[in-house]
Amino acid sequence: MSVRSLGRSLPRTFPQVVNSSDLKSNLTRLHPIEPGCARTPFSSCSKASLSTCRYIFTIQHRLAGRLEVPVSHLNIPIRTLSLSSPLSDIVQFNLSDIGEGIKEVTVKEWFVKVGDKVAQFDNICEVQSDKASVTITSKFDGVITKLYYEVDDIAQTGDPLVDVQVEGSAAAGEVLEESETTAEQEEFPRSAKVLATPAVRRIASENQINLADVPGTGKDGRVLKEDILNFIQGKSSPPSTPTSVLPPPPPPVAATPPKPVATPPRITRPVVSEGKDRTEPLKGMVKAMSKSMSEALKIPHFGYYDEIDMTNLVQVRKDLKQSCEERGVKLSFMPFIVKAASMALLHYPIINSSINLEAETLTYKHNHNIGVAMDTVQGLLVPNIKGVQNLSVFEVAAELNRLHNVGLAGKLTSNDLTGGTFSLSNIGSIGGTYASPVILPPEVAIGALGKVRVLPRYNSKGEVYPAHIMNVSWSADHRLLDGATVARFSNMWKGYLENPAKLLLDLK
């Protein structure tokens, strides 16, 4: 039996070949190298001899297999079929544009670590811009292989956040198995499932406390700042030891009291700890505030101050408070103040406008998006209530409750913080009577509300009565608004608050 190759009959059993040079010489005898070809098969062969070279390669491969001659000595290119695992498919997950012209954000919290398995729309991390906090979700199914940032690092839009090993690749199983082993050895496991604000999580991280061990007293088991501080204090205090009951001491023996000796006064000096100054870059809300206030200083501010008798409104709130609580809404003075401002803006629309000096235009805003300044864990934020002119007092109260709860949790969105047309600052909730509020561009007016105090005042009969007085401080853009306009607007707003029944005349 023989093998056919190029019209020649080759024997099944080949003569013994001692080394590679003998093999090459035998192959040459089987098929002479054509002119123009190199002395090694497959190197620079012409197109006409390509099929011939393929037959020679087949014979050489079979000879090498029978005679156990190392193929590497033959200098022959070999094509093989790989049965190994495919290459890892690692995808970079980049920080996408979150809108509002935001170019950089601060990473506040990671919900994953290296080795975690994620699916599409799973939470990856929480980032904080100069306007709002945003939760970033996954676009892929796979395993996290790399985190590019630590907490409090600044990430630029378009830069990678994590590397994801997509499902089905060979290395995904190894990374997942390794991460499970590492997770068992962690002294303080991640507690992302516990409800807590970023400030509380930072306190837990600095004190190496697992939030799952801290009992939460907030809504839905949320861990509050007081909870973790109490937990730290209870952890650091030594356990109390039972005291033994001692018998009463014997009665004292009367003795002559010694003469008092005058001792020099002891001077205590304050302890001053030694340390170094620390410099850190501006970021987050502090950076945003520095930019906006720098722009605000370009505006010539005009101030106007007045006081409002809230006595009648105090009684109205007292009558409606129980009904609102039954409907799940906490009623304060602020919904009445916001609604009264919106009704006054209907008569003075120029205060609900914006000015563009470059284009020399004035834009009257249709919606009354009234912002309310809030003191949150992230700093001063001014979310706004959209379309107050179309809302009732109860609906304004419900929206204020929502913004307050979201602000305390640090979850205000960009939509909550943008688009304001007029602002109020309730500085009286902290303390104080008067303030000098700074206008938030591109708005043209802002009001600061003082603390409600009970003071003696005279009624129309000349009788003294206890009045609930609230002071207000207005700041207006003097490039557009004059003092008379601001005073008339304030008087109308004041009339609605001092006589709440007037709200019914213009209420829509």
DSSP 352-366: GEEEETTTTEEEE-S
d(CA 168, CA 118): 13
- Which single residue is written with the structure tokens 């047309």? 421
159 is catalytic: no
d(CA 381, CA 407): 8
Tell me which of 97, 159, 482, 506 is the catalytic residue. 482
d(CA 246, CA 504): 75
- CA distances for 425 relative to 24, 298, 371, 440, angstroms: 94, 21, 8, 11
Helix-strand-coil split of the chain, %, nearest 5: 35, 20, 45
Q: Which residues of 229-239 are buried (b: 16+ CB within 10 A; e: fewer)?
A: eebbeeeeeee
478 touches 461 (CB < 8 A): no
Give SS3 for 279.
Answer: coil
- E strand or H helix at 423: strand 422-425
- Angle, vertex CA 322, rays to CA 317 and CA 328, nearest 5: 110
d(CA 48, CA 34): 10
Tokens of 487: 């005073």
161 touches 135 (CB < 8 A): no
Tokens of 25: 């010489």
d(CA 454, CA 456): 7
CA nearest neighbour of 405 among 323, 330, 318, 322: 330
d(CA 17, CA 64): 10
CB atoms within 10 A of CB 349: 12
Give SS3 for 495.
Answer: helix
Q: Any bridge partners for residue 375, and if so which? A: 380
d(CA 506, CA 153): 51
Q: What count of Cα atoms within 13 Å lies in the side-chain half-sphere of residue 428?
A: 19
404 is catalytic: no
d(CA 216, CA 226): 9
d(CA 313, CA 306): 17
d(CA 295, CA 289): 10
| Phi and psi torsions of 198, nearest 5° | -55, -35
Tell me which of 22, 122, 163, 478 is the catalytic residue. 478
Active site residues: 478, 482
